[in-house]
Amino acid sequence: MSKGIVIFDKVSGFQWDKGNQGKNLKKHKVSDNECEEVFFDPDKKLLKDIQHSGREERYILIGKTKSGRLAFLVFTIRKSLVRVISARDLNRKERKLYENE
């Protein structure tokens, strides 16, 4: 699934500002720290979000936090920083995708 997508070699950190800091905690009870943890899951799944890539490329990341919570993230990369756009728990279909591949 993530074969051919090479983006993390250009990343130097995360972008949390007024526009996205704490947003996912309020909407979906996923903290900023949990969002970051998903990027370090060795079994994470990465896809291009073709449907929502307009002015900038967006990606979908499915993975686990340190506590084992399965999360679905949409993010982009601005300059060399990951900017999380949305984060939530996996639904049943996405859980199967994470566990089967």
Tens of pLDDT, residue by residue over 22-80, are: 998 999 999 999 999 999 999 999 999 877 777 889 999 999 999 999 999 999 999 89
Per-residue pLDDT for 95 more than 60? yes
Per-residue pLDDT for 3 more than 70? no
DSSP 45-86: EEEE-GGG-SSS-EEEEEEE-TT--EEEEEEEEETTEEEEEE
CA dihedral 97, 11, 58, 18 (to 10 degrees): 110
> What is the token pair recorded at 25?
């905690």
Predicted local confidence at residue 54, as pLDDT: 78
> What is the token pair recorded at 53?
């890539």
Per-residue pLDDT for 97 more than 70? yes
